[in-house]
Structure 1
């Protein structure tokens, strides 16, 4: 019985001794630390915005418990970097302990203020120093900081500025967070990138001009709204001179880390509202939006409400191009993968697409809708149907393809016009659905709807190329186009000349 009492006395005593050992047996580190990285490269950040968090590990490979006398940023209080060492935040730390054969994490973030900088970007560097003056070891820190012009709604008394956009089905007003661009904000240049929070609205009677080489980054739930009576002119260009910086205009989200480069749905849309006019998009790349382009209203405008040339709409969470009872002309334009539809011509309208590639190879989840969807009506949640005539939807020298059997569907109300024409194009429509096959809109022998088309032919894109919708040397799209429009489509999306037997799609094959 007494021996058990001794156990209860001895065990707490041994635990006390162990606690004392932890307090006194750590020796100072003497330059033997190992690191998971010798340099931490933080991705590009914008002026005054915090970066993502990066990390590295510090290893104690010895059999002794060690204490690092100092861990600090070499630039001290002037550093734009911040640290979290073993759970503690700051810029300098003392007596950081690492048990034998163990490790700790160091987390790094950055924020820089470039207001006094003359250059639009600079390479920021620093180092995390470990140890005392005799046994210092370092891990370098590097990031590129870009100056930017920030555009955002004002906030007053806790209320963020908003824009009215209409009423809901119950007649209640609807608004979105946003602001109206002022006269001195209506020209975007390539001197500095633009970062937009909320919706930047172009007011009536004004034109937002975005010059070649401009880069526009959108925060979550942000975009551009071109209001009634306003216009958007995107004036990108392409240069074959490799010594000249790319002159296309790019719209994308404001997360610059590589892991966000192909994440869809990072921002809202380019919204060409009803009543906007004379919109022109040239050499524009739009990627990772919810809806890349949303245009509505004005189906009978001549020339059309919107002209799209040499542009790409890629990786939208929902739809790359949504046109609702509107009018546009598109040439050398690509609508790539999207979570729902690449191109949706909804509620009628007036459309002409020449040398376009509509190709949906979405692989980030299930997709139940085709690359191309055309309708001439809409239904409300109350079951009310509204119809509008599809005056024209003409596709010439196009490619419509994807990774599903059916990549084009038509949803027609018989009470309204539904005028579609496909000429010299590759079309993907592979199905055994008897209801669809009996629909006269899918009678591919009807010369009033289909002329010189190739059905269910793989266009053989070079999917691993920098431009993944270019044609391989064996593509059936080569030389199937009509030359009827060669005068207006003399060059492809890259500026390469087409011959008198042009290829279908936005790219002209350049091989022998």
Structure 2
């Protein structure tokens, strides 16, 4: 009998817990608080499988309720696109959406995302299919990206290249979350390769990059030549074809030397080619650029916090020839600190799509940002700007497309000859003046007709007009007897700029 009383008390307590209202476990009570949000195991569900094969691929997404009480997710849904059909599997139910899904407090939910592949050939499919997987909880809408690639490709996701590697041209290459080339390693990109980069993804080179090093055209080529290496964003829909700022760019860090980029197109990036040596150390990054086109470069909405350029150098060296730089939202060439830049037979035609206050070419002793990790960056006089037989022009109507910050300090390091310039600031014969050395200054753009059609959409034509002020004003340079398209230049009186004028 002595055990009977405690047993009765225990049973009574259990019965009270079960029967009394308002005593449900806290995690089973559903909160309607608008501040209740979900957390996710991934911010992007990415399908990088070969999508030209038949089949269904499933990815897992964990959804976490960190709240003490349960939540009711009013809607989980996604919108499928024609190239890839997505479906969800939640609590055993399959479909494109689910409603009123409860997740207990401090618990989680497993969502299976399935992508069903269209077995028809890849031709005509979008390259990138992007959707949002939406979660609506107590009026709060959250989203997880769902990405699929609709063509066969090599995928480089947060990749580190530690041994010398060749990227072949038999399939496109996709950069996702950036690629790093380690010191002492060479990445070679073969003729005709296509490289598509996702938003804010970069190719970062600490070693060496050889882009199209072996291509030797037998004669004149067209801009559509299949042997040209092409970098662009991974959105292949028509509306993204000429939209700036879709991916990061190509960065060369301290010690990266012997880099060669030739017969290449780089477009629609945040930065074009970026030499990063902010503390002015040795060995300096160096890049040689030949027969290259860079266009549609913009740091707007990039999150970088500073203005970008097609060629941006922090204490690095650019040697550039037969190159077109066009339609940048900020600078075309931005060389700071102890940078050294040489431009031969180049055309800078900076007709930006928006309002641009920056000159096309700016040289300065100061970096675009003052410090890194609270360590001030050095202010160093530029080592040199050499411009020969080149055009520096743009859409700033009453301003200058050329600026030397504190230029009097390094005027002896600036040499511009036989070039066409848009500048009022340096329209004189002083130490920084350019009314000398065979330069052509400020011709009337409309009566002089510098270019054939700088406003042609979607892609302007920056070849020289028949009556262009740049015609027959250059001086021959050794080793540069052909133009950007490998057409022969006039051997005695060539044209200024990347293109030799072709008579009809």
TM-score class, shorter: 0.5 to 0.7
Say if 2:251 is the partner of 1:246. Answer: no
* 1:297, distance to aligned residue in structure 2 (A): 3.8
Give the SS at the match of 1:311: strand
Partner of 1:311: 292
Partner of residue 403, structure 1: 395
Alignment of 1:282-301 (within 5 A): 282-297=262-277
Contact 1:477 1:504 in 2 (8 A): yes
Q: Secondary structure at the match of 2:489?
A: coil
Does the CA contact (< 8 Å) of 1:195 and 1:219 recur in 2?
yes
Comparing 454-463 with 315-324, which one deviates more in the overlay? Answer: 454-463
CA deviation string 1:276-329 (max 9, x = no partner) = 110000011111110111013498999982110000111111311101111121
Question: CA distance change for structure 1 residues 190 and 384 in 2, over 3 Å: closer, same or farther?
Answer: closer
The aligned residue for residue 208 of structure 2 is 231
Please list the CA deviations of residues 447-479 of structure 1 after superposition, one character each: whole Å capped at 9, or x if unmatched: xxx411110123621223966210111101010
8 Å Cα contact 2:411-2:432 kept in structure 1: no
| Partners of 1:303 and 1:383 in 2: CA distance | 19
Aligned mates of 1:302, 1:206 — CA distance in 2 = 16
Closer, same or farther in 2 for the Cα pair 1:428/1:145, shift >3 Å? same
Distance (whole Å) between structure 2 residues aligned to residue 207 and residue 181 of structure 1: 9
The question of whether the paired residues in 2 share the 8 Å contact of 1:412 and 1:418 is answered with: no
Matched, 1:455 2:448: no
Instruction: Note if 1:336 corresponds to 2:326.
Output: yes
Separation of aligned partners in 2, 1:292 and 1:393: 19
For structure 1, the residue ranges without an aligned partner over 5 or more in a row are: 1-44, 50-78, 92-109, 126-143, 154-178
Alignment partner, residue 156 of structure 2: 151
2:376 and 2:163 map into 1 onto residues whose CA distance is 42
Structure 2 CA distance for partners of 1:46 and 1:301, relative to 1, 3 Å: same
The aligned counterpart of 1:498 is 489
Q: TM-score, normalised by structure 1?
A: 0.62
| CA RMSD in angstroms, aligned pairs only | 3.7
Q: Which residue of 1 aligns with 2:187?
A: 208
Q: Secondary structure at the match of 1:462?
A: strand
Paired residues of 2:188 and 2:211 also in contact (CA < 8 A)? yes
SS in 2 for 1:506: coil
Distance verdict in 2 for CA 1:209–1:199, change over 3 Å: same
1:489 maps to which of 469, 480, 487: 480
Contact 1:377 1:413 in 2 (8 A): no
Structure 2 gap ranges (5+): 1-47, 53-81, 88-93, 97-114, 127-148, 299-307
- Cα distance 1:424–1:455, how it changes in 2: closer, same or farther (>3 A)? same
Equivalent in the alignment of 2:107: none
Maintained 8 Å contact 1:396/1:422: yes
**Does the 8 A contact of 2:325 with 2:349 survive in 1?**
yes
Structure-2 change in CA distance of 1:46 and 1:330 (3 Å): farther
**Deviation of 1:261 (Å):** 0.9
The equivalent residue for 2:66 is none
Change (3 A) 1:287 1:416: same
CA distance in structure 2 between the partners assigned to 1:148 and 1:289 by the alignment: 20
Equivalent residue number for residue 26 of structure 1: none
Structure 1 distance, partners of 2:440, 2:415, is 14
Is the Cα–Cα contact under 8 Å of residues 335 and 359 in structure 1 kept in the other structure?
A: yes
Q: Alpha-carbon deviation of 1:183?
A: 3.2
Change (3 A) 1:374 1:111: farther
Post-superposition offset of 1:199: 1.7
**2:51–2:151 CA contact under 8 A, matched in 1:** no
Say whether 1:422 aligns with 2:416: yes
Q: Which residue of 2 aligns with 1:374?
A: 363
Does residue 507 of the first structure (1) align with residue 496 of the second (2)?
Answer: no
